[in-house]
Structure 1
Amino acid sequence: MASEPSYQGSCICGAVRFTVQGEPVAMGYCHCESCRRWSAGPVNAFSLWKPEAVSVTQGADKIGSYNKTPGSTRQWCRDCGGHVFTDHPELGLIDVYAAVMPDFPFSPGIHVHYQETVLHLQDGLPKMRDVPKEMGGSGEHLPE
């Protein structure tokens, strides 16, 4: 029996390290203003995991957090400021930023909050106005 894949990640200075095990629930790009401002980029690459798949292996005491809304707790390393997670308790999922796991085979499947985009992409992936219905959104698709 093959074991589940696992991937390691860290903040930029390495003080906070973690492992994810198995496969993410979803992967894609978020275009909402909050994610853009948090990531300091025009789009944020996300990978959503069940909480039990994410283990902080070093530096849990160095993780800072911020809640802009009750639906998300953004987390970063207090030493370097490197962003690592966003906990979405209402969804029961943790967003582990794809960019902080160097060996993770990121394979996006969707764009969410595309109505807020500042970077229009024509990649053939579905573009959602907000998020899928099963995540509490409208499920409305937008054209590329």
Structure 2
Amino acid sequence: MTPNPQPTYKGSCLCKAIQYTITGTPLTTVLCHCTNCKKSSGSSFQANLFFKKDCLNFQSGQDKLSTYADAATDSGGIPHRSFCSVCGSNILSTNDSHDLVKDLVIITSGCLDGWPTGEGEKEFRPVQEYYCKRKVEWVRVLGETKEFEGMT
């Protein structure tokens, strides 16, 4: 009996200078309402997919990634936010300062190609929301997510 292969999803920045694949299913899916994720995404929250670091492979443009060490966070951690130096698309974050996420890569769901339609739609649905104390009033609860006032 052959085991089911892990799904592989393609992602890219807006200008397509950076292209990557992510293999497997996310460990968790999160909407983050912290001030820094809002500013980083340019929206009222950021939709994040947490994967093990070895699930991410760049096909092109890794040299176009710029990284910002975000030291002024509510959690006290220092996420390294990586974005395209050409078009500014927020691609991923890592955070070696928190034991819970130091072996993970946090992918922004908006940079996945072909999503939200297709295979990943159900498995990328947020199951948790962080920093709900900073959630804007008009963003409704997404059904069955677990809400947290902070990171945990």
TM-score range, shorter chain: 0.7 to 0.9
4+ residue runs over 3 A deviation: none
Q: Which range moves more in the overlay, 26-35 or 65-74?
A: 65-74
- For the aligned residue pairs, the C-alpha RMSD in angstroms reads 1.3
Instruction: Indicate yes or no: 2:32 matched with 1:30.
Output: yes
Q: Quote the Cα distance in structure 2 between the aligned partners of 1:99 and 1:131.
A: 21
Question: Could you tell me the percent identity over the aligned residues?
Answer: 23
DSSP-derived class of the 1:123 partner: coil
Report the Cα offset of residue 80 of structure 1: 1.2
- Structure 1: gaps of 5 or more residues: 133-144
Aligned pairs for 1:41-60 (under 5 A) are 41-60=43-62
Q: Per-residue CA shift, 1:42-68, capped at 9, x if unaligned?
A: 011110111001111111111100011
Aligned pairs for 1:84-123 (under 5 A) are 84-89=91-96, 90=98, 91=101, 92-102=103-113, 103=115, 104-105=120-121, 106-119=124-137, 120-123=139-142
Please tell me the residue identity of whatever aligns with 1:5: P
Q: Quote the Cα distance in structure 1 between the aligned partners of 2:136 and 2:108.
A: 20
Q: Which range moves more in the overlay, 97-106 or 78-87?
A: 97-106
Number of aligned residue pairs: 132
- Structure 2: gaps of 5 or more residues: 72-76
Report the Cα offset of residue 82 of structure 1: 1.3
